[in-house]
Amino acid sequence: MIEKRNGMQHEPDKQNEQKKVSLSLYIASLMAVLIIGIGGTALAINVLDQSDSNDSQLTELTEESETDTDTENGEDSQFSSFQPLEEMYTILMTRYLEEIDSETLIEGALEGMASSIDDPYTEFLDEAESSSIDEDIQGSFEGIGAEVMKEGEYVRIVSPIAGSPAEEAGLMPNDLIVEVDGESVADLNINEAVALIRGPQGTEVDLLVLRGDTEFTVTITRDSIPVESVRYELDEDHPTIGYVHITNFNIPTYEEIVDAIVELQDQGAEQFVFDVRGNPGGLLNSAIEISNIFVEDGQPLMQSQGRDEEPFIYYADSEEYGDFKFTDPSVLLIDGGSASASEILAGAMSQSAGITLVGTPTFGKGTIQNIQELSRNGELKFTAGRWLTADGDWVNEEGIQPDIEVEMPEYQNFLLINPEENYEEGDVSEAVENINGILDALGYDIGEVDNSFDAETRSAVEDFQEENDLTPDGIVTGETARALIDALRELLEENDTQYNRAVEYLLEN
């Protein structure tokens, strides 16, 4: 509140009036952000140096353009616009009830400037957050293993990382995190929310999740998450078909894909199913290099466009992006969790290499982010441009459409079962309807799938428990709840309708 005496605002004491606060560093920091955010630079190239190596890796793709030097009058006008900031800084430093750390105010201003753009991909990164991004790109991190973004008052899961605690717990693309350990994420920026979700290996975190119209709580044990880019194997039933699952686009991904293809070919693979379902993206340079594998030299891979610029077309080039080429018959699996770099690859494979896309529409992230180190106080990650497909399509919020649209089984969307709760005969709830749906999908006779835990549900639960060496008490909780989710996951793996359709397509063609 503002204290007033005799109708006048309370005045500071003389000691505070005489206190001088230097704002030179503060203004310099703000100006650095302003220049980066609205200057003539559209897309810039950040290079990640590798120790003891002459080679460099591109972390983001940009092109630099020069700006005209401001006139002296222009500079005076620009700095005068910061007067309200200086006034607020001085008031808070000298007259606020308690002493304030100047660094806290500076970081708050930087965060506020980034968030005011209302772009979920533009954000101020402090030192810890910058290190976190480096871990994601190069090595591993400790947490639940999911790509997330801020969406309104929620944190939206773009995609859980394959094999991560998030995936094992049953989290899915487009799930919305409402609370983390009881704390609402509504007023948190994405960095603050991620800081709550991440934590040391072996610790637990409770997430309140909204899926559709239903909320549920899931407890996840954090782990060390390796940033594994590629998994591969031969199809068990058709050993001439190789399967390559690309889970992320980071520094070593290109070499990992080349190794996977060569190894599978050596094992007898003649046709391939590539898979970027649930792949949230990663490094733009990696997407270009990998796209180059499938596209004939001289054909377009993608386009990028900075502010007030014409689109720049990137063409396949063995000397520039790697000389490994792949021409065997193949298809690419995509879904709503395929975002960013995954969509660049899908566009190049479809439009420039004629490779068939199977699955459901992709996520639709058509912007490019750059990370710029500030003179102090961390880094700025900001949207520096947009990318277009080889044909010039901007897929932002639209996604890339598959050539053969195939949905996964309906039971893929069943909710998690909270192992901390007890579900037993007589209960009526949406959670019980979910349990009935899972039992029905697993082949147990529960009659009509409804929200009632009746005698038929109890009998089905007892049968399931006996078949899985669990105490047949007819109650769903603890080990029974986890076993039901594991059984459903196995069923999904056995009935991957999208993968099965891809294999069918290859065999037909």
pLDDT at residue 136 greater than cutoff 80: no
Split at pLDDT 50, 70, 90, the class of 417 is confident
Average pLDDT score over residue span 148-161: 86
Distances (CA, A) of 204 to 108, 222, 295, 426, 452: 29, 6, 45, 31, 31
pLDDT in tens, 358-370: 999 999 999 999 8
pLDDT at 473: 96
Q: Supply φ then ψ for residue 227, to 5 degrees.
A: -85, 75
Lowest-pLDDT range of 217-221, 260-264, 295-299 = 217-221
The pTM for the full model equals 0.69
Of the listed ranges 147-156, 200-209, 380-389, the least confidently predicted one is: 147-156
Higher pLDDT, residue 137 or 337: 337
CB atoms within 10 A of CB 338: 34
Q: What is the pLDDT of residue 384?
A: 92
d(CA 459, CA 466): 11
Q: CA 199, CA 221: separation in Å to the nearest integer?
A: 10
